[in-house]
């Protein structure tokens, strides 16, 4: 079976690569400039803080359990492979869904790289109001959440067309 990149959703591989590069570049800057839990205040409700996430998105199911680490890796790799296979069958006339899948894959690969390299995911964005904090996250998480939002939006738009 021959896959033509330009005629499928694989045309959006550039977006996957951009997400991975931005994510890993920012994480490397965090590692080079901050110690664990060291923070840099940006404004009254936002700071950059270096944390290590042993769980999944937003620290959910966090623990230093090695079995969990490999389970999360397996899930992320499986989802990435499935989405790349789906991209290889998608029509280029569906850019919203192709962008969504690409953002999710790019974010997943960024976090996979962390788990393989460090055994945890590097998180650093901290939004808060007083003592109320949103869970700390990273650029890969932003890409995954935005991609998921685009999938939901696409499903509503698809239903509306039908």
Q: Is 141 a catalytic residue?
A: yes
Whether the model pTM is above 0.75: yes
What pLDDT score was predicted for residue 72?
A: 76
> Of 23, 114, 123, 126, which one is the catalytic site residue?
123
What pLDDT score was predicted for residue 66?
A: 64
Q: What backbone torsions phi and psi does residue 34 show, to the nearest 5 degrees?
A: -125, 145
If one counts the domains in the chain, the total is 1
Strand order in the sheet with 39-43: 39-43, 46-53, 121-129, 132-133
CA distances from 9 to 69, 78, 101, 145, 157 (A): 30, 18, 9, 19, 18
What pLDDT score was predicted for residue 127?
A: 96
What pLDDT score was predicted for residue 8?
A: 87
Residues with Cβ within 8 Å of residue 51, at least 6 apart in sequence: 36, 37, 122, 123, 124, 136
Per-residue DSSP letters for 20-61? HHHHHHHHHHHHHH--TT-EEEEETTEEEEEEEE-SSGGGTT
What pLDDT score was predicted for residue 70?
A: 78
pLDDT in tens, the chain (162 residues): 555 566 788 899 999 999 999 999 999 999 999 999 999 999 999 999 999 988 665 454 555 556 666 787 888 899 999 999 999 999 888 899 999 999 999 999 999 999 899 989 999 999 999 889 899 999 999 999 999 999 999 998 877 665
Q: Give the residue numbers spanning the domain of 33.
A: 5-161
Token readout for 47 is: 């700071």
What pLDDT score was predicted for residue 145?
A: 96
Q: Is 123 a catalytic residue?
A: yes
């Amino acid at each position: 079976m021959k896959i033509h990149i330009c005629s499928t959703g694989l045309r959006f591989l550039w977006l996957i690569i951009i997400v991975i590069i931005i994510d890993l570049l920012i994480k490397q800057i965090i590692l080079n400039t901050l110690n664990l839990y060291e923070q840099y205040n940006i404004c009254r409700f936002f700071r950059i803080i270096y944390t290590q996430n042993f769980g999944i998105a937003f620290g959910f199911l966090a623990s230093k359990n090695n079995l969990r680490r490999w389970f999360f890796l397996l899930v992320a790799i499986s989802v990435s492979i499935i989405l790349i296979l789906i991209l290889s069958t998608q029509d280029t006339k569906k850019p919203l869904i192709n962008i969504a899948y690409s953002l999710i894959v790019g974010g997943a690969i960024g976090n996979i790289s962390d788990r393989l390299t460090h055994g945890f995911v590097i998180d650093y964005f901290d939004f808060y109001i007083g003592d109320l904090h949103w869970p700390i996250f990273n650029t890969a998480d932003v890409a995954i959440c935005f991609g998921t939002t685009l999938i939901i939006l696409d499903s509503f738009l698809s239903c509306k067309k039908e």
